């Protein structure tokens, strides 16, 4: 399945989801135009947060918005430092989107690497 189907399946399983992005407030409209916004409980941009990934404060704000403690939250991102390591630094589970041929980060266990977002579903079902 593609991103939309993966997000739909996560919603059906009862997962609360949000977006944490180093972008500005235009992101809300972009997500709406792509018909993805409805999957998310919140969208937190660095413009609103007043800080950007890898600053842990943006993840802490996201955790408050999501109403979950770090050990019950997971972050999926495509940047090793800004996403994977930064989320882990605040105690969240973290997954790195890394397409084949993009290279590997030695500190990322293979089970934390997702070739596509749809691979997340197999991990959730474990």
Measured between alpha carbons, how far is 86 from 83 in angstroms, rounded to an integer? 5
| Confidence at 72, pLDDT banded by 50, 70, 90 | very high
Q: What is the pLDDT of residue 84?
A: 96
Q: What is the pLDDT of residue 124?
A: 74
Tell whether the model's pLDDT for residue 111 goes beyond 60. yes
pTM attached to this predicted model: 0.91
Measured between alpha carbons, how far is 35 from 91 in angstroms, rounded to an integer? 31
29-45 residues labelled b (16+ CB within 10 A) or e (exposed): eebeeeeeeebbeebbb
| Confidence at 2, pLDDT banded by 50, 70, 90 | confident
> What domains, with CATH codes, occur in the chain?
3-124 (3.40.50.1000)
Which two structure tokens, joined as six digits, stand for 93?
Answer: 């589970």
């Amino acid at each position: 399945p593609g991103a939309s189907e993966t997000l739909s399946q996560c919603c059906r399983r009862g997962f609360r989801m949000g977006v944490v992005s180093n972008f500005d407030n235009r992101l809300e409209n972009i997500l709406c135009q792509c018909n993805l916004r409805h999957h998310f409980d919140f969208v937190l941009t660095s413009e609103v947060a007043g800080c950007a990934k890898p600053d842990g404060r943006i993840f802490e704000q996201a955790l408050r918005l999501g109403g979950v403690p770090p050990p019950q939250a997971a972050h999926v991102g495509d940047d090793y430092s800004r996403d994977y390591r930064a989320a882990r630094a605040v105690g969240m589970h973290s997954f790195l989107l890394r397409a084949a041929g993009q290279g590997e980060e030695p500190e990322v266990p293979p089970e934390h690497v997702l070739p596509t977002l749809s691979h997340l579903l197999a991990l959730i079902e474990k």
